[in-house]
Amino acid sequence: MSMTDSAGTQADAPQTDSQAAYRDELVAAGLLIPTGVDGLYGRGGVFEDVVERFDALVTVWGGTDGAEVMRFPPALNRKYFEESEYLKSFPHLAGTIHSFKGDERAHRTLLRRLEEGQDWTEEQAVTDVVMTPAACYPVYPTVAARGVLPADGRLIDVFSYCFRHEPSLDPARMQMFRMREYIRVGTPEQVMEFREVWLRRGREMMASLGVPLEIDVANDPFFGRGGAVLSNSQREQKLKFELLIPITSESKPTACLSFNYHQDHFGHLWDIRTADGGVAHTACVGFGMERVALALFRHHGFDTARWPAPVRAVLWG
Ligand code: AMP
Ligand code: ZN
């Protein structure tokens, strides 16, 4: 698929590829706006309205728990990123931000190379910021910096664009997408209870939107040969669950919500301590905003005015 193809007109669509075909339908309907890069889209007004309504619905279900709201830009302190060990597990997904650091002579070279269609990126040097890979990443070092946890731990509410370098024709696999998350930091009991509550709530909340769903154990896409071992152990220990809804395939439904238990991984990395001196455990529930919107458009159609009345009532009140 070339860059120009991925702008996605109806005529270009490889009809055999149902994902690309569905993407083109979304583009033709004005829900997604192509940019020429697979997985990078603008969003139309109707799409955004659904995202905003769903965001509000998450707050209806989670808003009375007293979570502390934090909003970070979609970039992370590179030091936090390095400390997080993300590069151990997902080097292939990371997006680091580089910028020109050369002198005037290097600048002339850059412009000449650009003009000649050659690689101009040689003088680009890494900056202090990295694209946020998951909305919860800025939270752990922030919580750690506040010192020992209060007795009831912490509950944080975040929302951010995230970047993952996974270009795809699948409209549900974007390179930049939004994640709303609740993050629990505390004792193993507090954190496990949080995840149980959200597994139940997530199912009820999504069922209220009239979409077919299942919840299943899952694993992250760990890199390399060692990755398979990590994936297996994550599944065996049931550390990750996903709420799946068919979007572009009936047989392979798409993960729209994730329920992650990190055990004491982040607690260890940043030395987060519970009130009784133990290493803090953490868990998060993540809502994939674009995927949920896409699931709703898939099952209820592109015209939100014609969505089933009960679904409209849940979202638009
Ligand atoms: P994860 O951290 O991989 O569990 O992701 C959390 C949530 O973000 C998932 O449940 C999805 O709904 C969403 N998500 C993950 N990757 C993508 C992607 N490439 N495009 C769109 N949404 C995504
Ligand atoms: Zn998270």
pLDDT digits (tens, 9 = 90+) for 60-103: 999 999 999 999 999 999 999 999 999 999 999 999 999 999 99
| Strand arrangement, sheet containing 281-288 | 68-69, 154-163, 176-186, 281-288, 254-263, 240-245, 214-217
Ligand 1 lined by 164 (C-beta under 6 Å): yes
H, E, C per residue of the chain: CCCCHHHCCHHHCCCCCHHHHHHHHHHHCCCEEECCCCCCEEECHHHHHHHHHHHHHHHHHHHHHCCEECCCCCEEEHHHHHHCCHHHHCCCCCCEEEEECCCHHHHHHHHHHHHCCCCCCCCEEEEEEEECCCCCCCHHHHHHHCCCCCCCCEEEEEEEEEECCCCCCCCCCCCEEEEEEEEEEECHHHHHHHHHHHHHHHHHHHHCCCCCCEEEECCCCCCHHHHHHHHHHHHHCCCEEEEEECCCCCCCCEEEEEEEEEECHHHHHCCCECCCCCECEEEEEEEEHHHHHHHHHHHHCCCHHHCCHHHHHHHHC
Residue-level pLDDT at 1: 34
Ligand 1 atom closest to Cα of residue 164: 19
Nearest CA to ligand 1 atom 7: 288
Q: Which of 11, 44, 9 is CA-nearest to residue 30?
A: 44
**How buried is residue 79: exposed, middle or buried, by Cβ count under 10 Å (0-12/13-18/19+)?**
exposed
Asked if residue 105 and residue 23 are part of one domain, the reply reads no
Q: Is residue 178 part of a domain?
A: yes
Residue-level pLDDT at 168: 96
Asked if residue 216 and residue 105 are part of one domain, the reply reads no
Both structure tokens of 238 = 């049931």
Ligand 1 lined by 134 (C-beta under 6 Å): yes
Interacting residues of 247 by C-beta distance below 8 A, sequence separation 6+: 22, 171, 172, 253, 254, 291, 294, 295, 298
Ligand 1 lined by 159 (C-beta under 6 Å): no
Nearest CA to ligand 1 atom 19: 173
**For residue 17, what pLDDT band results from cuts at 50, 70 and 90?**
confident
Q: Are 75 and 129 in contact (CB under 8 A)?
A: yes
| pTM, rounded to two decimals | 0.94
Asked if residue 279 and residue 167 are part of one domain, the reply reads yes
Asked if residue 114 and residue 254 are part of one domain, the reply reads no
Asked if residue 228 and residue 102 are part of one domain, the reply reads no
Asked if residue 198 and residue 176 are part of one domain, the reply reads yes
- Pick the more confident residue, 12 or 51: 51
Q: Is residue 1 part of a domain?
A: no
Q: Is residue 218 part of a domain?
A: yes
Q: Domains in the chain: how many in total? A: 2
Ligand 1 atom closest to Cα of residue 260: 4
Ligand 1 lined by 295 (C-beta under 6 Å): no
Asked if residue 312 and residue 269 are part of one domain, the reply reads yes
pLDDT at 5 over 70: no
**Pairing of the two strands 154-163 and 68-69:** parallel
Q: Which ligand is nearest to the CA of 171?
A: 1
Ligand 1 lined by 291 (C-beta under 6 Å): yes
The mean pLDDT value for 118-134 works out to 96
Q: Are 121 and 100 in contact (CB under 8 A)?
A: no
Q: Is residue 179 part of a domain?
A: yes
Asked if residue 218 and residue 164 are part of one domain, the reply reads yes
d(CA 242, CA 286): 9
For residue 115, give its domain range: 96-130
The one-letter code for the residue type at 270 is W
Q: Is residue 306 part of a domain?
A: yes
What's the mean per-residue pLDDT of the chain?
94
Phi and psi angles of residue 43, each rounded to the nearest 5 degrees, phi first: -120, 135
Residue-level pLDDT at 242: 98
The one-letter code for the residue type at 311 is V
Asked if residue 21 and residue 118 are part of one domain, the reply reads no
pLDDT at 13 over 80: no
Q: Is residue 17 part of a domain?
A: yes
Ligand 1 lined by 307 (C-beta under 6 Å): no
d(CA 176, CA 222): 19
Asked if residue 109 and residue 175 are part of one domain, the reply reads no
Q: Is residue 7 part of a domain?
A: no
pLDDT at 107 over 50: yes
Asked if residue 241 and residue 111 are part of one domain, the reply reads no
Q: Is residue 5 part of a domain?
A: no
Ligand 1 atom closest to Cα of residue 220: 3
Question: What CATH code is carried by the domain that includes residue 276?
Answer: 3.30.930.10
Asked if residue 59 and residue 156 are part of one domain, the reply reads yes
